[in-house]
Amino acid sequence: MRIWFRSNSRNSYSIAALIPLVDASLAPGPRAGIMLYSFATPQAGEVYQEVDTARKAKLDAVFVAGGPHPSAVPEEVLEHFDFVVVGEGEETLPELIEAIEMGKEPADVRGIAYRKGGKAIYTEDRPPVDLDLYPPFTSILAPIEISRGCPWGCTYCQTPRLFGRCMRHRSIPVVARYARRHKDIRFTSPNSLAYGSDGRRPRLEKVKALLEGLSEQKKPIYFGTFPSEVRPDFVTDEALELITGYCANKTISLGGQSGSPAVLESIGRGHGRQEIESACEHILDHGLVPQVDLILGLPMESAEDQHMTLDLARWIEEKGGKVRAHRFMPLPGTPLWEKKPAPLSSDAEALLGSLAQRGRLTGSWGRKIKAEKDETA
């Protein structure tokens, strides 16, 4: 059976991670054979409609889903798909494809869900993969994944639910081997400055060893920039001296999320507003521009809380930083999945629109803003 990955611009990370492991081709729509999909919550409705249409047309295909949304709500996805890969796919997907092709019993494949006799069947969980055994993306996507997992468990975030709360890291020799393929070196990580650590306390000697080792390749290095970010409480003069000493960054992507101390505590960020402001000032002092992620409309956000976040956005802009604003979207598998977003005030719409017009804001809030091309180059 021929194997296909359903390709679009929104699932490039999954495709880049998994296509080296299976003999698959890219397809812009359903094809006969084994049809692989990876998608997040915003794309779920569109994907379901496409698969249902293909089934009604009696396309001879086995439909397999994976990624953030299917991993969080497998039984919903199985209303449309034949199999769901739950969690990481590096080991599970090749085994599942082999089972489908050979007609083997899917119950022997760990880490999947499927239906049998109208009932959802879950196979044994699969332990987290050893990142060094698998490629950290390919030529499809330049950023090198250096870490997975997050110990913080923020209530809006799927990362610790998908990849666990124990951080794992690719070793420096493996990162360096893949970095040789690229003209410049970029990364993806839940918290770049947590490299080599447990994610709660930085180990800057590990960060230094990584950057020092990669600097031997004589290529521009971008660290702590989009699509990665750093936690405010990990930003110190010592950390920034490493970045300015080894990297070509003009910006640092900073996870702030709210200007309200009460909201920050409620969502489990593990830091307050003071740490956000301090991190911004440190970043600016080192000649870099902070690009701060903020979420508006979190369910527990009162009008006063939202005002505090808008006040923080103004403060960031006045200091010379930028804001990446997002409207809260409930994500399955998180504690806030079934919570209703708080409304966005007219003051928020006006301020964010003004910041966007002045080139000081990107992201997605209320209406769609053009996706950011990170200003690290």
Q: Do 118 and 147 share a structural domain?
A: no
Q: Do 173 and 107 share a structural domain?
A: no
Q: What share of the chain is helix, strand, coil (3-state, %, to 5)?
A: 35, 20, 45
Residue 65 placed within a domain: yes
pTM: 0.90
Strand partners, 295: 326
Q: What is the dihedral of CA 117, 119, 124, 129, to 10 degrees?
A: 110
Strand partners, 26: 5
Which of 83, 103, 122 is the endpoint of a domain? 122
Question: Each residue of 134-190: pLDDT tens digit?
Answer: 988 765 567 899 999 999 999 999 999 999 999 999 999 999 999 998 899 999 999
- DSSP per-residue codes, 180-205: TTSSSEEEE-S-GGGTTS-SSS--HH
For residue 66, what pLDDT is reported? 94
CATH of the domain at 76: 3.40.50
Distance, CA of 190 to CA of 196 (rounded, Å): 13
pLDDT in tens, the chain (377 residues): 899 999 877 767 777 778 778 888 999 999 999 999 999 999 999 999 999 999 999 999 999 999 999 999 999 999 999 999 999 999 999 999 999 999 999 999 999 999 999 899 999 999 999 999 998 876 556 789 999 999 999 999 999 999 999 999 999 999 999 999 889 999 999 999 999 999 999 999 999 999 999 999 999 999 999 989 999 999 999 999 999 999 999 999 999 999 999 999 999 999 999 999 999 999 999 999 999 999 999 999 999 999 999 999 999 999 999 999 999 999 999 999 999 999 999 988 888 888 888 877 777 655 443 333 344 44
Distance, CA of 199 to CA of 219 (rounded, Å): 27
Tokens standing for residue 84: 């769901």
Distance, CA of 363 to CA of 325 (rounded, Å): 5
Residue 104 placed within a domain: yes
Q: Do 161 and 106 share a structural domain?
A: no
The number of domains in the chain is 2
Q: Do 319 and 195 share a structural domain?
A: yes
CATH of the domain at 344: 3.20.20.70
Q: Do 170 and 99 share a structural domain?
A: no
Helix (H, G, I), strand (E, B) or coil at 35: strand
For residue 141, what pLDDT is reported? 61
Residue 250 placed within a domain: yes
Q: Do 279 and 142 share a structural domain?
A: yes
Distance, CA of 365 to CA of 343 (rounded, Å): 11
Q: Which of 116, 174, 178, 118 lies closest to 143 in space, CA to CA?
A: 178
Domain that holds residue 97: 3-122
For residue 367, what pLDDT is reported? 44
For residue 315, what pLDDT is reported? 96
Cis-peptide into 227, omega within 30 deg: yes
Residue 374 placed within a domain: no
Residue ranges of alpha helices (H) inside 68-221 are 68-72, 74-77, 92-102, 159-163, 172-179, 204-215
Residues 195 and 147: beta-carbon distance below 8 Å: yes
For residue 12, what pLDDT is reported? 72
For residue 356, what pLDDT is reported? 80
Q: Which residue has the tokens 């902070």?
A: 290
Which of 77, 93, 122 is the endpoint of a domain? 122
For residue 80, what pLDDT is reported? 98
Crossing angle between the packed helical segments 273-285 and 237-246, to the nearest 10 degrees? 40
Distance, CA of 45 to CA of 324 (rounded, Å): 26
Tokens standing for residue 40: 């997040």
Which of 96, 122, 148 is the endpoint of a domain? 122
Q: Do 170 and 102 share a structural domain?
A: no
Q: Do 165 and 59 share a structural domain?
A: no
Element housing 3 (H / E): strand 3-6
Q: Do 138 and 216 share a structural domain?
A: yes
Residue 151 placed within a domain: yes
For residue 365, what pLDDT is reported? 57
Distance, CA of 19 to CA of 376 (rounded, Å): 28
Residue 165 placed within a domain: yes
Q: Do 144 and 108 share a structural domain?
A: no
For residue 375, what pLDDT is reported? 46
Q: Do 176 and 109 share a structural domain?
A: no
Residue 206 placed within a domain: yes
Q: ∠307-308-314 over CA atoms, to 5°?
A: 90
Residue 13 placed within a domain: yes
Q: Do 235 and 356 share a structural domain?
A: yes
